[in-house]
Amino acid sequence: MFYRFLCLIVFVVFSISCAKDENTSRVNQANSETIYNWRMVTTWPKNFPGLGIAPETLATRVAKMSNGRLNIKVYGAGEIVPAMEVFEAVSQGTVQIGHGAAYYWKGKVPIAQFFTAIPFGLTAQEMNGWLLHGGGMELWTELYDRFDLIPIPGGNTGVQMAGWFNKEINSISDIQGMKMRIPGLGGEVFTRAGGETVQTPGGEIFTSLQTGVIDAAEWVGPYNDLAFGLHQVAKYYYYPGWQEPGPALEVIVNKKAYESLPDDLQEILRVGALSANLDMLAEYTARNNAALVELVETHGVEVRRLPEDVIAVFKKLSLEVTEEIIDDDPLSIRIHESFKEYYQGVVDFHEISEKAYINSR
C-alpha cells in the first residue's frame, strides 16, 4: 500500500515538473517570437552614399539575422527630427535608435568628441583599435549611460579631405575672416586661427557655398563630396584632412529599448552595427579614388596641399583645444588619459609598421 502511495506521489511531482517545464518553454518561445518594430533617426540625408547607406545596411542585416523579429525603419535628417536633434530624440525615447557622430553633441557632451575625431588624432584603424580593444568602448558606454543611451561604433570614412575653398590658401593669413562649415574640435581650431566657424547640416552645404553664406566647407571626401556636387560651388580642394583623420560614427540606442530586447537580439543589434562599421570603411576605401579622378579629370577641380606653416598652426591650436575640453569630471579625465596613452603607443608602432610600409612602397 505504501509503495503504491509513494509511486503516486512521484508521478504527481513528475507531472507538475513537466507541466512547469512545458509552460516555461512556451513562455520562452513566445518571447523569442515577439516582433520589435523600431524607428531610427539619422543626421544624414536619406540613402546618402556611404553615410546614409550605413544605417540602411544595419537595418537590413538585423532584420535578416533576427528572422524578422527586430525591424528598424530608417529616417533621414528632418523626416522625424532635425539632424542635430538625433541625440535628444533617442535619449528621451522619442525613437529607439539613431545614427550620427558624437562631435555633433559637443554643446551637450564636450568630451564625447573623443569618440568621433580629434584633430591630428587616430586613423580609422587606430580608432577601431582603441574602441574595441583599448578600453575606449567601456568609457564611451559609461559616458552615454548618463543620458540613457547605449553607443556602438557605426561606421568610419577614413581620413577625410581638408575641405573646399573659394580662394587659395597660401598662408595662415588667408584664413582670417573666412567663414567655414567645419564641426567638432576642428571648428574650434579654425576659429582660433582667425576664421569663423559655421555649423551647417550636410544637406545645406551646397546652398550655403552657392549663396556665399560660407566661403569654405569640409564634408567628407571625394565619394561624398562628388555626390553633393560641391565642385560646382568651390574651386579648390585641399588636403590633408587634419581635422578628421578617422572619424568614428555611432549607433546610439535608447537604454530602456535596448534592455527590452532578449539577449540574442541585443547581440544581433551589436553585430549588425559593427558589420556596418566595417562595411562603411571598406566602401570609402574602394570609392574615393574613382571619385577623385572624376573630380579632377572631368570637372577640373584643383587639388591642393595645405602649406606646412598652416598645418603647423592648426596642430599647435589642436593641442590647446583638446586639453581645454577636459574638465574636473573624473570620467572626462579618464577618457583623455586612455586616449592619450593608446595614441602614443599606436603611433610609435605604426612608425615601423603601417607608416613605414606606406612610405616604402
pLDDT at 16 exceeding the cut of 60: no
pLDDT at 8 exceeding the cut of 80: no
Q: Tens of pLDDT along 64-113?
A: 999 999 999 999 999 999 999 999 999 999 999 999 999 999 999 999 99
Specify the pLDDT at position 201. Answer: 84
Q: How far apart are CA 299 and CA 296, in angstroms?
A: 6
Looking at the domain assignment, is residue 278 inside a domain? yes
Q: How far apart are CA 165 and CA 119, in angstroms?
A: 19
- Other beta carbons within 10 Å of 319: 13
pLDDT at 49 exceeding the cut of 50: yes
Looking at the domain assignment, is residue 19 inside a domain? no
What range does the domain containing 76 cover?
A: 35-156+246-285
Which amino acid is located at 155 in the chain?
Answer: G
First to last CA, the chain: 92
Looking at the domain assignment, is residue 359 inside a domain? no
pLDDT at 240 exceeding the cut of 90: yes
Looking at the domain assignment, is residue 119 inside a domain? yes
Q: 160 by DSSP, 3-state: which?
A: coil
Q: Tens of pLDDT along 52-74?
A: 999 999 999 999 999 999 999 99
Specify the pLDDT at position 32. Answer: 55
Q: Tens of pLDDT along 110-151?
A: 999 999 999 999 999 999 999 999 999 999 999 999 999 999
- Rounded to the nearest 10 degrees, how much is the dihedral formed by the CA atoms of 108, 113, 116, 117? 150
Q: Tens of pLDDT along 256-277?
A: 999 999 999 999 999 999 999 9
Q: Which residue has the cell 570637372?
A: 299
Q: How far is CA 7 from the centre of its chain?
A: 65
In the sheet that holds 248-254, the strands lie side by side as 70-75, 36-42, 97-100, 248-254, 149-156
Looking at the domain assignment, is residue 216 inside a domain? no
- Integer CA distances (angstroms), 334 to 129, 189, 328, 345, in order: 17, 23, 11, 17
Q: Tens of pLDDT along 185-233?
A: 999 999 999 999 998 888 899 999 999 999 999 999 999 999 999 999 9
Residues 139 and 335 sit within 8 Å (Cβ to Cβ): yes
Specify the pLDDT at position 203. Answer: 85
- Rounded to the nearest 10 degrees, how much is the dihedral formed by the CA atoms of 18, 22, 23, 24? 100
Neighbouring-strand partners of residue 151: 252
Neighbouring-strand partners of residue 9: none
Q: How far apart are CA 202 and CA 186, in angstroms?
A: 16
With CA atoms as reference, report the closest residue to 66 among 276, 265, 253, 263: 265
Q: Calculate the average pLDDT of the chain.
A: 91
Looking at the domain assignment, is residue 63 inside a domain? yes
Q: How far apart are CA 169 and CA 153, in angstroms?
A: 35
Q: pTM for this one?
A: 0.88
Of residues 21 and 151, which shows the higher confidence score?
151
Q: Are strands 163-165 and 236-239 parallel, antiparallel or unpaired?
A: antiparallel
Q: How far apart are CA 187 and CA 119, in angstroms?
A: 10
Give the helix/strand (H/E) hosting 41.
strand 36-42
With cut-offs at 50, 70 and 90, classify the pLDDT of residue 23.
very low
With CA atoms as reference, report the closest residue to 224 among 207, 243, 202, 199: 202
Looking at the domain assignment, is residue 121 inside a domain? yes
Average pLDDT over residues 20-27: 39
C-alpha cell belonging to residue 79: 523626416
Looking at the domain assignment, is residue 114 inside a domain? yes
Total domains, the chain: 1
- Integer CA distances (angstroms), 351 to 125, 129, 292, in order: 14, 16, 27
**Contacts with 148 (C-beta within 8 Å, 6 or more apart), sequence order:** 91, 93, 254, 255, 256
pLDDT at 14 exceeding the cut of 80: no
DSSP string, 275-337: HHHHHHHHHHHHHHHHHHHHHHHTT--EEEEPPHHHHHHHHHHHHHHHHHT--S-HHHHHHHH
CATH number at residue 274: 3.40.190.170
